[in-house]
């Protein structure tokens, strides 16, 4: 049984870690950017060996009031999260701006390692990252004190520990989802192109299945080594979905892997990705031990996967009225994405 960090541990270390982080930020220390986080190393770090290097994220978007609101909201979410696959908040800093302080992730973000590193990320590590990220999402959706929708699952927001254990970070867009509520409907468009679910494009609908869709794209990135949207603006979803539908799984594999991958694990990951990127949210599985994790581990057969596809998680009175699997296709999805891109660039 997985256990998260005990709250008492965080309380015990929070003041010391935050004080240490503010010291690093306030003095002339060496720093570098890695993904979303700025990593600091004090010039006299040897004397501070009891404090490991830290990463922090500065809340800088919006007006002063908006930054304060966003800082308090994100901190309010993070203090309730205690899981090995969720980035560990160890403190906050308010000198020189509002900062969230985290334990340093040894390998930085998945985006850096998968797309920018000269070193090849082998299949065993990629599969481990997929399993860990699924566990983290399952915790947010079903085992947290209150359900949380992350809303911005992507390779940039997956940090990697020294042993390549993934940790979900950046809860700036996260939403609480009370038990009696099936979804949120948002009027403003936020998120990352390439990971955005169709129902969010068309109706602003956000629920667990929004994260499931983004997780499917993340799986495709791990399999293919391609970005969700490449430099020529080609969508990974549009390229990969027809290949999956034709069951040409090997055509998806990152050329850097060669033949160095586990065929069964590849099949499990590809099958899971295919289920997660269904245009209709009704057809996507849940991020739970009974669905996505079991499929990803190969603990369900083909007939079980078909039943997962046919079993809706959200009440059909909501999903059926918004999107139907047959009437919503890739062409319409692409048009919606293009429309929202134009709106975003015009603002």
Which residue's structure tokens are 């709250």? Answer: 7
Residues 157-190 as b/e (b if ≥16 CB within 10 A, e otherwise) read bbbbbeebbbbbbbbbbbbbbeeeebbbebeebe
Cα–Cα distance list, 109 to 34, 145, 201 (Å): 7, 27, 27
Which residue's structure tokens are 């031990």? Answer: 289
Task: Give residues with Cβ within 8 angstroms of 41, minimum separation 6.
Answer: 24, 29, 30, 31, 53
Q: In degrees, to the nearest 5, what angle opens at C-alpha 138 toward C-alphas 133 and 144? A: 120
User: Measuring CA to CA, which residue among 264, 59, 67, 89 is closest to residue 169?
Assistant: 89
Count helices and strands in the chain by DSSP H and E runs:
12, 11
Task: Give residues with Cβ within 8 angstroms of 76, minimum separation 6.
Answer: none
The partner residues of 100 in beta bridges, in order of sequence, read 57, 92
Q: Phi and psi (nearest 5°) for 290?
A: -85, -10
The partner residues of 30 in beta bridges, in order of sequence, read 41
Task: Give the three-class secondary structure for 8.
Answer: helix
The yes-or-no answer on residue 152 being catalytic is yes
Catalytic one of 152, 170, 207, 211: 152
Task: Give residues with Cβ within 8 angstroms of 50, minimum separation 6.
Answer: none
User: Measuring CA to CA, which residue among 136, 132, 69, 130 is closest to residue 98?
Assistant: 69
Task: Give residues with Cβ within 8 angstroms of 64, minimum separation 6.
Answer: none
Active-site residue list = 152
């Amino acid at each position: 049984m997985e256990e998260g960090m005990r709250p008492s541990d965080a309380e015990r270390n929070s003041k010391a870690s935050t004080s240490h982080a503010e010291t690093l930020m306030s003095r002339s220390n060496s720093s570098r950017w890695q993904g979303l986080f700025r990593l600091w190393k004090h010039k006299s770090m040897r004397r501070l060996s009891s404090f490991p290097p830290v990463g922090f994220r500065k809340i800088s978007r919006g007006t002063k009031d908006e930054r304060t609101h966003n800082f308090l909201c994100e901190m309010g979410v993070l203090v309730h999260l205690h899981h090995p696959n969720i980035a560990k908040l160890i403190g906050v800093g308010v000198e020189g701006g509002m900062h969230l302080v985290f334990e340093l992730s040894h390998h930085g973000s998945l985006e850096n390692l998968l797309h920018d590193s000269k070193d090849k990320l082998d299949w065993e590590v990629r599969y481990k990252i997929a399993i860990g990220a699924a566990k983290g999402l399952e915790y947010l959706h079903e085992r947290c004190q209150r359900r949380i929708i992350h809303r911005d699952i992507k390779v940039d927001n997956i940090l990697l520990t020294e042993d390549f254990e993934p940790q979900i970070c950046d809860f700036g867009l996260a939403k609480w989802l009370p038990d009696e509520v099936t979804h949120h409907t948002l009027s403003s468009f936020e998120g990352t192109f390439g990971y955005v679910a169709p129902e969010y494009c068309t109706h602003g609908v956000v629920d667990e299945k929004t994260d499931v869709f983004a997780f499917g794209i993340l799986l495709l990135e791990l399999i293919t080594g391609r970005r969700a949207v490449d430099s020529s603006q080609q969508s990974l979803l549009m390229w990969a979905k027809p290949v999956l539908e034709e069951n040409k799984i090997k055509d998806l594999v990152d050329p850097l892997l060669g033949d160095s991958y586990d065929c069964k694990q590849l099949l499990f990951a590809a099958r899971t990705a295919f289920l997660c990127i269904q245009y209709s949210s009704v057809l996507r599985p849940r991020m739970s031990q009974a669905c996505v994790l079991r499929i990803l581990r190969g603990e369900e057969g083909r007939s079980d996967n078909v039943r997962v596809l046919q079993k809706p998680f959200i009440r059909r009175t909501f999903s059926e009225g918004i999107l139907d699997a047959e009437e919503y296709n890739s062409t319409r999805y692409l048009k919606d994405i293009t429309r929202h891109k134009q709106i975003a660039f015009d603002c």
